[in-house]
Structure 1
Amino acid sequence: MERALDEMERAYLEASDGDARDARRRALADAMQEIADVSRMVSRGFVRASKPADLARELGPERRAREAAR
């Protein structure tokens, strides 16, 4: 998990040309968009989970891989 976070941090910093403040803004904007997307999916009934771990699994890396394959 820590390795993935380090990779994300590097990616945001590279996208921001090393500007930590801009990298933080980009990361926050992406996180807020992800929260909004999940909220919409949950409110429309697309996501069903009995436990938070099930929801995390449904919305985690596997989902991103499926979306990238499209």
Structure 2
Amino acid sequence: MDVDVPTLVEQARAGRPRAVARLISLVEGASPQLREVMAALAPLAGHAYVVGLTGSPGVGKSTSTSALVS
């Protein structure tokens, strides 16, 4: 089922948790609408950085993430 991506992005920007959750699901699930979602969100990102933290369980990914966002 196709989702109205522009409306979903608008709702997410208005702070609606369900819209945010739906967008995350579309991205994580590699939806056929992934390109549309990314195209709608990219202009809103400004000069944001994307950081990925990987590693085995228990090595401190969550601790590092908490330190980064503090």
Question: What TM-score do the two structures reach when normalised by structure 1?
Answer: 0.26
Query: Which structure's residues are more often helix, by fraction?
Result: 1
Q: For CA contacts below 8 A with separation 6 or more, give which structure has more relative contact order.
A: 2
TM-score (norm 2): 0.26
